[in-house]
């Protein structure tokens, strides 16, 4: 048994024991048994592969949407699990504001299935980092809560040191697309000793306009990364992005 299988087994055993001692209730409907019951999973608006490879916008087939055609992309491809609404929204809130590790494990399982269905040859999994200040305020990085169990599932190393947020950015909430891009430009710095010639899987909770994940990917590419894939749990819907005054995205 390799190191990952052993760690993954121990991690899972721990969580199964917790579930046995304290049976969870579904965060969507309250039914006892699972944190997210199968009905609630099926009720989510799941990502469709007939979409833009860079932003997830709906297309007749997998390709590049009209808006992304004219933009520079540091990521090679984006995949996500489901739309940021309903039960998924509740799940993200539990992850982000309540440090719910059980939810992180459930979501990481689903993310692992997405990656396993691709032909991505990943060397390293990295969570999108928070600034030290933000991390100190929240006490943890929600993307790292996902990246760790995901790395165990995929038997791939995780690294949280090779990519850092070097200057404080304003909260992205209420910023439009242009402002978001300017807000995060140059906000990340990557260590060539860790990322050079590596294919990286960047993990985050929500993809909104892609400004943050592309800025992080740009830093990785500058430090010599071969390729950067982006994986998020949720994607903001077109109207949620539109609410933030970004150019309309058809999803």
Least Å distance between CB 50 and Zn ion? 13
Judged by beta carbon, residue 57 or residue 124, the one nearer Zn ion is 57
DSSP string spanning 44-105?
A: S-B--SSBBTTT--B-SSSB--TTGGGS--SSSEEEEEEESSHHHHHHHHHHHHH--HHHHH
Residue with Cβ nearer Zn ion (37 or 124): 37
* CB-CB contact of 35 with 27 (8 Å): yes
x-or-dash string of contact with Zn ion, 68-87, rule CB under 5 A? x-------------------
What backbone torsions phi and psi does residue 81 show, to the nearest 5 degrees?
-90, -55
Q: Is 231 in the site for Zn ion (CB under 5 A)?
A: no
Query: Shortest gap between Cβ of 93 and Zn ion (angstroms)?
Result: 16
Using the rule CB under 5 A, which residue among 8, 24, 35, 40 binds Zn ion? 40
Q: Which of 8, 26, 107, 144 binds Zn ion (CB under 5 A)?
A: 26
Which position among 5, 18, 29, 193 is part of the footprint of Zn ion (CB under 5 A)?
Answer: 29
Nearest to 92 by CA among 206, 16, 227: 206
Q: Residues 190, 215: contact at Cβ < 8 Å?
A: no
Residues whose CB falls within 8 Å of the CB of residue 200, separated by 6 or more in sequence, listed in order: 122, 123, 124, 125, 126, 217, 220, 225, 227, 228, 229
Q: Smaller CB distance to Zn ion: residue 52 or 122?
A: 52
Does the protein bind Zn ion through residue 236 (CB under 5 A)?
no
Burial class (CB in 10 A: 0-12, 13-18, 19+), 219: buried
Q: Cβ closer to Zn ion: 2 or 32?
A: 32
217 binds Zn ion per the rule CB under 5 A: no
50-69: which residues touch Zn ion (CB under 5 A)?
A: 52, 54-55, 57, 65, 68
Phi and psi based region of residue 193 (left: phi greater than 0; alpha: psi -120 to 50; beta: remaining): alpha
Q: Closest approach of Cβ 171 to Zn ion, in Å? A: 24
Q: Does 5 help bind Zn ion (rule: CB under 5 A)?
A: no
Q: Which residues of the shown chain bind Zn ion in the complex (CB under 5 A)?
A: 26, 28-29, 37, 40, 52, 54-55, 57, 65, 68
């Amino acid at each position: 048994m390799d190191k990952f299988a052993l760690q993954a087994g121990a991690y899972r055993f721990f969580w199964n024991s917790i579930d046995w001692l304290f049976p969870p209730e579904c965060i969507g409907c309250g039914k006892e048994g699972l944190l997210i019951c199968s009905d609630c999973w099926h009720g989510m608006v799941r990502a469709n592969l007939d979409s833009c490879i860079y932003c997830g916008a709906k297309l007749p087939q997998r390709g590049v949407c009209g808006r992304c055609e004219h933009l520079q992309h540091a990521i090679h491809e984006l995949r996500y699990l489901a739309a940021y609404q309903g039960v998924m929204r509740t799940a993200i809130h539990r992850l982000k504001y309540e440090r719910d590790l059980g939810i992180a494990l459930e979501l990481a399982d689903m993310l692992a299935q997405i990656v396993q269905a691709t032909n991505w040859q990943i060397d390293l999994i990295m969570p999108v980092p928070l600034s030290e200040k933000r991390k100190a305020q929240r006490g943890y990085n929600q993307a790292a809560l996902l990246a760790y169990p995901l790395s165990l599932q995929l038997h791939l190393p995780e690294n949280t040191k090779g990519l850092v947020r070097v200057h404080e950015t304003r909260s992205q909430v209420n910023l439009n697309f242009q402002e978001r891009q300017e807000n995060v430009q140059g906000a990340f710095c990557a260590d060539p000793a860790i990322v050079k010639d590596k294919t990286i899987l960047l993990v985050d909770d929500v993809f909104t306009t892609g400004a943050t994940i592309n800025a992080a990917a740009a830093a990785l590419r500058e430090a010599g990364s071969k390729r950067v894939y982006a994986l998020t749990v949720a994607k903001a819907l077109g109207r949620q992005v539109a609410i933030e005054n970004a150019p309309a995205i058809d999803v």
